[in-house]
Amino acid sequence: MTTYPPSISITPKAKIDETLDVPGSKSLTNRAFVVASLADGISTLRGGLIAEDSEVMIKALNALGLIVEGPVISNQGTTFTVHGRGGNIPKNQAELDLRLSGTSIRFLTAMVALGQGKYKLDGNERMRQRPIQDLLGSLEKLGVKLGTEFETGCPPVVVEANGMKGGVTSVAGDRSSQFLSGLLMSAPYAKESVTIHVTGELQSKPFIDMTLKLMGDFGVSVERNGYASFTIHPQVYKARDYLIEGDAMAAGYFWAAAAITGGRVKVTNVGLTSVQGDKRLASVLEEMGCKVTWTDTTCEVVGTQNLKGGTFDLNDMPDQAQTLAVVGLFASSPVRIENVWNMRIKETDRLAALNVELTKFGAKVEEGQDYIVVHPLKNYPQSVDVATYGDHRMAMAFALAGLRIPNITIQDPACVAKTFPEFFDVLTAL
């Protein structure tokens, strides 16, 4: 894995002209690990992500007695082999260190509820500040005994598992869609049917579509009433050979690079057929004046010398907000990003962090509870030292500004290892 220095300076680029693959989707990789581990039989996962978040998930599954082999890297790409146990959790006791992997702690809290024994799920300091009580309340209604160790509503989580009874529950939709995804993926192995009602506005709906599509691909059906309720009857996932598509979030950085430089970037493993909602960033860039060309498996963005601003609801893809905010520095009019409250409970308070770092560039920034407005730069700064808050997406998004503005330094570039360890290598090679 790439080793980075304490800080890295970005070299401005002339007009970019590049065709590239991006790593496998983190969201799909971790979902596939969970579903394949619950399946009956041995699954082969191709194209999966090799990064801290996926390594954290693999280590946790192995600690539960579930065998994940790999990665095996060849000319055909990356391969993992997952030995499913048909919904059984082999170990009856485990302590899982999930660091800052939100998908891991939320998916596995629901998954270990299927076991028989005592499980503790913890993470780093920031993870201990990220609310999870809504998920725990949902699981309690399904007959699971669990709670937070320090009664803070945040990890560490302690689960005293005796299987998941089933029944009717509800989950808050306005916190994180990962709560619902975790419940959905484990529900087929409850003793009785599970019905989940969603309260409040569901965030990041495409991620639920992704979860349901993956479950269906592994042989489990879900009855649904839009995004209001879901019913899952007892079923078994079937092991299979499964291809994981490229990460649309990662693709977004390079599409944005084309927009910022007026260049061209074609990503060859994210296209129209992608199940990831984050691919919509390309369409937002098109609204801003870029030329976008799609095929089923590719997306090409060609930048413009006159990027337009606008108002964009990113509720369905909040992880693209930092990227779009940085693009906004170079637009001809303000960019308003709204309906993204849950950015405040990510790896850092991303709205607050964006405000601080964009202001360093001399930009006028307006921050509200669930929105941010970025006004275009009138003049380029002499230099900017960008803090990243241990947040991989802050590092990758702000690195894009350095493609146009000299003397941009990114602190703690190694934080990109969470989802895209080779990011700066790829960016430098453009």
**Residue whose structure tokens are 């990758």:** 396
Q: Which of 395, 310, 308, 382 is nearest to 350 (CA)?
A: 395
SS3 266: strand
Cα–Cα distance between 77 and 221 in angstroms, integer? 30
Q: Return the residue matching tokens 């944005």.
A: 256
- Cα 414 from Cα 394, distance rounded (Å): 12
Whole-angstrom Cα distance, residue 121 to residue 63? 11
- Residue 76 exposed, middle or buried by CB count within 10 Å (0-12, 13-18, 19+): exposed
Two tokens at 188? 């087929």
What is the amino acid identity at position 165?
Answer: K
Cβ contact 265:298 at 8 Å = no
The residues assigned a catalytic role are 319
How far apart CA 67 and CA 64 sit, in angstroms, is 9
Nearest to 23 by CA among 97, 73, 81, 82: 73
Residues 337, 324: contact at Cβ < 8 Å?
Answer: yes
- Tokens representing 345? 């409970």
Strand-by-strand arrangement of the 365-367 sheet? 310-313, 335-338, 371-374, 365-367
* Gap between the Cα atoms of 354 and 16, Å rounded: 25
What are residue 8's phi and psi, to 5 degrees? -140, 135
β-strand 229-232 against 223-225: which pairing, if any? antiparallel
DSSP secondary structure, 303-347, as one string: --SS---EEEE-TT-GGGHHHHHHHHTTSSS-EEEES-GGGGGSS
The C-alpha atoms of residue 381 and residue 374 are separated, in whole angstroms, by 16
> CA dist 407 to 29, 190, 381, 410, 427, Å?
36, 56, 9, 10, 16
Q: H or E segment at 138? A: helix 133-140
Place of tokens 């599970």: 194
